[in-house]
Structure 1
Amino acid sequence: MDSAAVTAQSTRGATESETVTARSTTVTAESTTVTAASAPVTAAAAGTWKLGDLEVNRVGFGTLRLTGNGMSGNSDGAPIDREVAVGILRSAVERGVNHIDTASFYFSPLRSANELINRALAPYTDDLVIATKVGPWRDPSGAWLGMAGPGQLRGQVEENLRQLGRDHLDVVNLRVNGIVSVAEHFGALAELREAGLVRHLGLSCVTPEQLAEAQAIAPVVCVQNPYGLDQRLADTNGLIDSCRRQEIAFVPFFAISGRRREAPADDTHGDGLRAVARAHGATPAQVRLAWTLHRGPNVLAIPGTSDPGHLTQNIAAGALRLSRDDLDRLEAPRA
């Protein structure tokens, strides 16, 4: 576990001795058990962080799995009933989730994530933050068309605005899809920010070098990259440390699986994980989410699900406090 200190933005007591001020608040991190008999946990249990001037609870919700779109091997299968999807979104917000992750390219022939958000949550409350992504293109059949050019990003932003029924977007992440330099694309988004169509900018699937390049153009409030117990490139390449130093939110996707597919963890993830889960009366998936949140006060979670029961478990994971022994056991090399 890192013990880097992030100053000026957040305060939290945690197992690791990180000092953070003003940007994040969390509850203390003594070892905690999550049980079915516990009172309902809200997303506020994990504390908060600010995306620019927008405060969000650290446990959010990702909408990809609501569409059943089969994107790159993820979220495959038939989409759930529309009203069930709408109910999950409303339930998430009722339980304190105020950070929703989406994209206009999250769709299937029967479902659009943005349309579901609009139907479920409009008119939007002032504290709800919707973060979307631009960059990749898909045609109406769902086939990928590669990366949009810088001049095409305005059209993608306007598509998100139309689908969500908004006059501005809270956060727009540039999903880097095979490009080396982000300067032209991020510069185009910075112009849209100046024009008032976008409030804050972020990045997705980037390297530390691309983050530095973007930061020289406009402020970056968040970085979305794959990250989890089984996928720790952001540790080895220094990206998570760079985000912490610069007080940028690090928002892992696939935090439960750590790999391509945001699928629930099962009983095949090692003795250490299973032992920690048993000790806390939690599921392996909850322990994985809790471990991710322990990586720093600027680390957020956006687990997605199409199962109301899993939504409850994911939110409850924000209240799970892992001890130093738990963390050592989870991070120990596997035999």
Structure 2
Amino acid sequence: MRIGDLDAGRIGFGAMRLAADGTVWEPPADRAAAVAVLRRAVELGVQLIDSSDAYALGANEELIAEALYPYAADVVIATKGGVTRPGREEWIPLGRPEYLRQQAELSLRRLRRDVIDLYYLHRVDPQVPLADQVGALARLREEGKIRHIGLSEVSVAQLEEARAVAPVAAVQNLYNLTDRTHEQVLDHAAEHGLAFVPFFPIAVGEHAAPGGPLAEVAAELGATPAQTALAWLLHRSPAVLPIPGTTSVAHLEENVAAQRLTLTAGQYARLDRLAARDRDTTMTVR
């Protein structure tokens, strides 16, 4: 899968899970283990590493630099700006152009990069015209500080409004086997040559229970339900580039191996019929 002119592979790594707790407020308690996961991801051929300035208040980006700097030539670093964290449970969009510039500059320092490969508007700020928010990223792109622009949790209309201001290379929306709210956004992104990067790609719920349809197909493939859910995403569209996160090297290896699975048409159809009722609501912002 390509993001603009960059080859990003088919499965990336979402570093958010490396935070110490479910609120993504603190850096990992076992820093050495988190560094090991990141390094193993690159050893396994993972090319896209995804973060945000809002994850552990910037410490997540620092962790990536600690683990991977100097970066391999084929590693694509993505991060996000445009969400503030005034409190442990708070995720507040802030899209003022001066703030986005400030945060991009801070991300460059923390990541030890001269240019950020993919920089997302983390959330659209309803208090600021979208054209102004994307325009700020466009200026950073013109200055060579970011290479490609991304958007997160947007509608088709917002995506097209943004694309009228500047080129957009990727969209990161919630999407998985049982939550397909953004089906139209995925199809629209694919139609226009954009990468669609689903967060929370491995949903949990009744469909994953023993004896459920996902477990049944997994057993047929000799795989785990998580691997099968990722395989469904990869089969869904060549534009899809999931970024499952984990704190475990074993689970990382399992996730990356999912790209070697091949679903039959019948298996894909059985999974495709799953109702979108078991949405993973652990986090409202990613």
TM-score (norm: length of structure 2) = 0.89
Query: Shift in Å at residue 68 of structure 1?
Result: 2.2
Contact 1:66–1:80 (8 Å) recurs in 2 = no
CA distance in 2, matches of 1:316, 1:248: 24
Equivalent position of 1:283 in the other structure? 224
Equivalent position of 1:34 in the other structure? none
Equivalent position of 1:106 in the other structure? 55
1:96 pairs with 2:58:
no
Equivalent position of 2:19 in the other structure? 67
Secondary structure of the residue that 2:34 maps to in structure 1?
helix
Equivalent position of 2:107 in the other structure? 160
Deviations 1:275-320 (A, max 9, x none): 1011111111111111011111111011000011110110011111
- Aligned partner (choices 43, 67, 70) of residue 123 of structure 1: 70
CA distance in 2, matches of 1:265, 1:87: 33
CA distance in 2, matches of 1:245, 1:127: 26
- Aligned partner (choices 148, 158, 165) of residue 200 of structure 1: 148
CA distance in 2, matches of 1:51, 1:78: 28
Over aligned residue pairs, what C-alpha RMSD do you find? 2.4
Contact 2:25–2:88 (8 Å) recurs in 1 = no
Query: Shift in Å at residue 265 of structure 1?
Result: 9.1
Deviations 1:75-95 (A, max 9, x none): 699935100100000000001
1:50 pairs with 2:12:
no
Deviations 1:163-203 (A, max 9, x none): 11111111101122452852110011101110111111010
Query: Shift in Å at residue 234 of structure 1?
Result: 1.6
Point out where structure 2 has 5 or more consecutive residues left out of the alignment.
276-286
Query: Shift in Å at residue 140 of structure 1?
Result: 7.8
Query: Shift in Å at residue 270 of structure 1?
Result: 6.4
Secondary structure of the residue that 2:169 maps to in structure 1?
strand
Secondary structure of the residue that 2:45 maps to in structure 1?
coil
Secondary structure of the residue that 1:107 maps to in structure 2?
helix
Contact 2:206–2:212 (8 Å) recurs in 1 = no
Question: CA 1:144 to 1:228, structure 2 compared with 1: closer, same or farther past 3 Å?
Answer: closer
- The size of the alignment, in residue pairs, is 275
Equivalent position of 1:306 in the other structure? 247
CA distance in 2, matches of 1:333, 1:158: 43
Point out where structure 1 has 5 or more consecutive residues left out of the alignment.
1-48, 258-262
**4+ residue segments displaced more than 6 Å:** 263-266
Contact 1:137–1:148 (8 Å) recurs in 2 = no
Equivalent position of 2:180 in the other structure? 232
Equivalent position of 1:22 in the other structure? none
Q: Between the two proteins, what is the percent identity of the paired residues?
A: 45
CA distance in 2, matches of 1:226, 1:86: 26
- Aligned partner (choices 166, 171, 176) of residue 118 of structure 2: 171
Contact 1:176–1:182 (8 Å) recurs in 2 = no
CA distance in 1, matches of 2:92, 2:270: 43
Question: CA 1:269 to 1:105, structure 2 compared with 1: closer, same or farther past 3 Å?
Answer: farther
Secondary structure of the residue that 2:182 maps to in structure 1?
helix
Question: CA 1:329 to 1:80, structure 2 compared with 1: closer, same or farther past 3 Å?
Answer: farther
Equivalent position of 1:273 in the other structure? 214
